[in-house]
A = this chain, B = another copy of it.
Amino acid sequence: MRTEIATLGEFGLIRHLTEGIELKNESSRYGVGDDAAVLSYPADKEILVTTDLLLEGVHFDLTYVPLKHLGYKSAVVNFSDIYAMNGTPKQITVSLSLSKRFCIEDMEELYAGIRLACEEYHVDIVGGDTSSSYTGLTISITCIGEGERGKVVYRNGAQETNLICVSGDLGAAYMGLQLLEREKAVLTSDKDVQPDFAGKEYLLERQLKPEARKDIIEKLAQAGIQPTAMMDISDGLSSELLHICKQSKVGCRVYEEHIPIDYQTAVMAEEFNMNLTTCALNGGEDYELLFTVPIADHEKISEMEGVKLIGHITKAELGCALITRDGQEFELKAQGWNPLKGESAEQKNDEEAEKRGQRKFPVHTKC
């Protein structure tokens, strides 16, 4: 079923997509339907604002990303930024621009993913904007959240002797992307072959349906641990660690053997003949939390499930280094994915861009 978007128009489409949305948070006073949304936060909260702009062909490829997953992920990556400030996401605005390739049913799918993420994380959709575009799909989401006054965690508070911690495991989202890109190439060369993802579901899920680490923020609060610095890992561990060290004016030592890596990530790296540590250090989109805590919290943090201690903060003069399994020291470098260097984004023409997403293959990740 394909219903052209022109049958509804801009206002009609917004109305249709936001129908039945009920505001759940007390701070959400008025949502979609006026010149601006109206929010109301108590004076003991600090308000957090983050925004992300996602473009088809640059940030996502609709050949293998189902629209519902894309909607879910677009929302969750913004929530992740709010948690990374030690806050709680409360509202989002959603702006979309879309070419004529997309129909109302496509937008329903995308929105279903956004709404599912909002339900799971208790966030309200309070506004947005919809318009046409010449090429592909653009998604711009702004997320507003709250933090306790005085408990917001920045990138610049790490101090010498602090312990460096990460949640979950690293590199899996990147391996998931490699896997999807490989199967896409296979599909392009021979249409009868179906992609084979058996035993690699975890990698796919990490790439296609990441979660924000709400649970870690809650655990830290319950354990009475106040991180000194924190950010989420979207561009790779190396890149993020360097941000924290630069902004905190400190150095660091990270131990290769302590970097948490899932078994499937290791198997896949071997299959691709890639260096596993490099994948874990530089692969992006894990949306895990990277944070530092005072050394006095060593015991508490060691006992915390889902958190790994990977190193410690040093004086700035000592620089930022990785200690390998055999005891060698290597300077940490940011090789994170940089969409402005054009490494991942070749210039392609419109037709090409519009063709993307027409040939799809089934992805078996639930959303």
Interface residues of A (CB under 8 A from B): 5-6, 8-11, 13, 29-30, 33-43, 46-53, 55, 57-59, 81-82, 84-85, 87, 91, 93, 95-97, 99-100, 126-136, 138, 140, 142-145, 147, 149, 152, 154-156, 230-232, 247, 338-342, 345, 347-351, 353
A81 to chain B: which residues have CB within 8 Å?
35-36
Task: List 28 contacting pairs A-B, 8 Å CB cutoff, sorted by A.
Answer: A6-B341, A6-B342, A9-B338, A35-B231, A36-B145, A37-B50, A38-B47, A38-B85, A38-B147, A39-B48, A41-B47, A49-B91, A49-B144, A50-B93, A50-B127, A51-B95, A51-B128, A53-B96, A58-B133, A58-B134, A97-B138, A100-B347, A130-B340, A131-B339, A132-B339, A132-B345, A134-B345, A134-B347
Contact B33 A49 (CB under 8 A): no
A51 to chain B: which residues have CB within 8 Å?
93, 95, 127-129, 140, 142
Question: In whole Å, how far is A292's beta carbon from the nearest beta carbon of chain B?
Answer: 14
Question: Given known contacts A95-B52, A129-B51, is B38 in contact with A340 (CB within 8 Å)?
Answer: no
| Bound Cα distance A143, B10 (Å) | 21
Question: In whole Å, how far is A267's beta carbon from the nearest beta carbon of chain B?
Answer: 32
Besides A36-B49, A37-B50, 9 new A-B residue pairs in contact (Cβ under 8 A), listed by A number? A36-B143, A38-B46, A52-B95, A52-B129, A55-B133, A57-B134, A99-B347, A131-B340, A132-B339
Question: In whole Å, how far is A54's beta carbon from the nearest beta carbon of chain B?
Answer: 8
Contact B140 A53 (CB under 8 A): yes
| Bound Cα distance A58, B130 (Å) | 12
Our pick among B40, B136, B341 for the contact of A46 (Cβ within 8 Å) is B40
Our pick among B29, B47, B342, B349 for the contact of A349 (Cβ within 8 Å) is B349
Contact B129 A53 (CB under 8 A): yes
Contact B49 A93 (CB under 8 A): yes
For the residues of A in contact with B, the DSSP-based class is mixed
A46 to chain B: which residues have CB within 8 Å?
29, 38-40
Question: In whole Å, how far is A123's beta carbon from the nearest beta carbon of chain B?
Answer: 13
Q: How many copies does the complex hold?
A: 2
Contact A87 B36 (CB under 8 A): yes
A91 to chain B: which residues have CB within 8 Å?
49
| Bound Cα distance A231, B84 (Å) | 36
Question: In whole Å, how far is A253's beta carbon from the nearest beta carbon of chain B?
Answer: 24
A11 to chain B: which residues have CB within 8 Å?
338
Contact B43 A342 (CB under 8 A): no
Most buried by B among A8, A10, A133: A133
A82 to chain B: which residues have CB within 8 Å?
35-36
A339 to chain B: which residues have CB within 8 Å?
10, 131-132
Question: In whole Å, how far is A61's beta carbon from the nearest beta carbon of chain B?
Answer: 12
| Bound Cα distance A131, B149 (Å) | 32
Question: In whole Å, how far is A3's beta carbon from the nearest beta carbon of chain B?
Answer: 13
Contact B53 A47 (CB under 8 A): no
